[in-house]
Chain A
Amino acid sequence: MSIPTQLKYTKSHEWVKSESDGTVTVGITQHAQELLGDMVFVELPKIGRILAQKEECIVVESVKAAADVYSPLAGEVIAVNSELESSPEKINQDPYHAWLFKLKPANIADLESLLDAQGYEKALESEAH
């Protein structure tokens, strides 16, 4: 499984992409979608919602289970990928492009506290044991 090196990650399987305008884009990883199986429903947060780091902000439901998605950083929700409401399967098909929401971080420096691809790979390995 290849983990894109340009992204940051959390142990709870979110990916974070740092945009040039200082915002970040958030999705869930290949590993997360594999664990959950076919997605059937996504409940997105409201635009403008202020999130704390690690706050539950999205529910994704697959054929198998409901799972919470946590905000990787503190900040304000500035966009959501509403296409996923009608086509949740896009998360299965291409998890690193099927983004969930965009965040204006309260402190962009917090990005450095997240895992890089190598760190995430190690986290996955230790989870498997």
Chain B
Amino acid sequence: MLKITPLNQAHRDMNAKMVDFGGWDMPLHYGSQLDEHHKVRQDAGMFDVSHMLVVDIEGENVRNFLRQLTANNVDKLTVSGKAIYTCMLNPDGGIIDDLIIYFLSESWFRLVVNAGTADKDIAWITLQRDQAAPDLEIKPRRDLAMIAVQGPNARAKVWQVISGAQTVTENLKQFQSATFDQYFIARTGYTGEDGFEIILPANEAVAFWKKLYAAGVAPAGLGARDTLRLEAGMNLYGQDMDEATNPLESGLAWTVDLKSERDFIGKQALLQTAIKRQLVGLLLLDKGVLRSHQKVMTQHNQSECEGEITSGGFSPTLNQSIALARVPVQVAIGEEVHVLIRDKKLAAKVVKYPFVRNGQILI
């Protein structure tokens, strides 16, 4: 039995092609994935991301607990509403999940974790809580829904729909949030475009979704979400990283605080591990489409660390195939490599990602 979000029927009413996404019945597209992609880059689109889990951690000194739980440093969060992106590591430095943490007050932090890892995350966080801070409460919030509205016109359209929200949210910077009425509104996203991710009561989700649609926000499915985040160079958990990889070899060194005195789970392992692999961008020079798990051949390949595409696909904005690939650290930007696609070796160029941000091609 597939799990459903509060918007399931709304998707079906909009003729969505539904797919099983890690046990969730989710919209892949509503007709054309490419159109939805372009709509987000050029105007505004909305995604049902209610399958992701909001977890509130409440009690005395939540911050201290999170200091040791995550690789990024929650001490960077000094103003209420501010958020950080971080990995949660196991003692070996492997990535249990990537998540966003919102600081609301010293007794209330809000985490948003991936759908496919939610049960595992709750079990892990609970285990750590029991050892380090048994008085804290961990509250999975399945009573909430989450809708991402993304694109250059996304914020304006949200303001059109939630009257009064503009004054509270127009000065939010990236990775800041504010609460207005029943809406928790964060200037975050997974597309490389401006916009909001909005958390609201599950029973209000359908009405809000319909109002956004009436305001001209195009529904967009998981297909477009994947090509948008790939162009934006954002990792997908389970593809570009997992428990067998650490953040330093996943392009996420910027999210790991190794400088402060603070100890966190996985820190010792990261300090002791020699990093042999890195995540790079690939641009396919020949015709075809890069896909995950295709082998990448470089002049630096050694048998024990062969390159592999972690996420690949067709970039609608570049009209060309792009990928993220894990390759030996010796591979340099600008180098030409070969990708094995079926029986052919196709040429690709190693590039610095992101590929696209805020509607602009960067490579």
A residues sitting closer than 8 Å to B (CB atoms) are: 37-38, 40-41, 43, 59, 61, 63-66, 89, 92
Contacts and interface: CB of A to CB of B under 8 A. Distances in A.
A41 B314 contact: yes
Contacts of A63: 33-34, 223, 227, 313-314, 316
Nearest to A65: B291
28 contacts: A37-B17, A37-B28, A37-B29, A38-B34, A40-B34, A40-B289, A40-B314, A40-B321, A41-B287, A41-B289, A41-B314, A41-B321, A43-B288, A59-B342, A61-B288, A61-B314, A63-B33, A63-B34, A63-B227, A63-B313, A63-B316, A64-B28, A64-B33, A64-B223, A66-B289, A66-B291, A89-B34, A92-B32
Interface string B327-354: 0000000000000001000000000000
A37 B287 contact: no
Interface in B261-291: 287-289, 291
A66 B341 CA distance: 10
A93 B34 CA distance: 13
A43 B344 CA distance: 12
A37 B223 contact: yes
Given A59-B342, A63-B227, A38 B33 contact: yes
A43 B287 contact: yes
A59 B287 CA distance: 12
Given A63-B34, A63-B314, A66-B289, 9 more contacts: A37-B33, A37-B223, A40-B289, A40-B321, A59-B342, A64-B28, A64-B223, A65-B291, A66-B291
Interface of B: 17, 28-29, 32-34, 223, 227, 287-289, 291, 313-314, 316, 321, 342
Contacts, number: 39
The B contact surface, by secondary structure, is: mixed
A92 B29 CA distance: 14
Contacts of B287: 41, 43
B166 to A, nearest CB: 35
Nearest to B226: A63
Contacts of B28: 37, 64
A42 to B, nearest CB: 9
Contacts of A64: 28, 33, 223
Contacts of A37: 17, 28-29, 33, 223
A61 B316 CA distance: 13
Nearest to B344: A43
Contacts of B314: 40-41, 61, 63
A13 to B, nearest CB: 17
A129 B34 CA distance: 29
- List 9 A-B pairs, minimum CB-CB distance, nearest first: A40-B314, A61-B289, A38-B34, A63-B33, A38-B33, A41-B289, A63-B314, A38-B32, A37-B33
B288 A41 contact: yes
Nearest to B29: A37
A63 B17 CA distance: 14
A65 B223 CA distance: 11
A89 to B, nearest CB: 8
Contacts of A59: 342
Nearest to B287: A41
B235 to A, nearest CB: 20
A64 B289 CA distance: 10
Most chain A beta carbons < 10 A, residue from B28, B29, B314: B314
A96 to B, nearest CB: 19
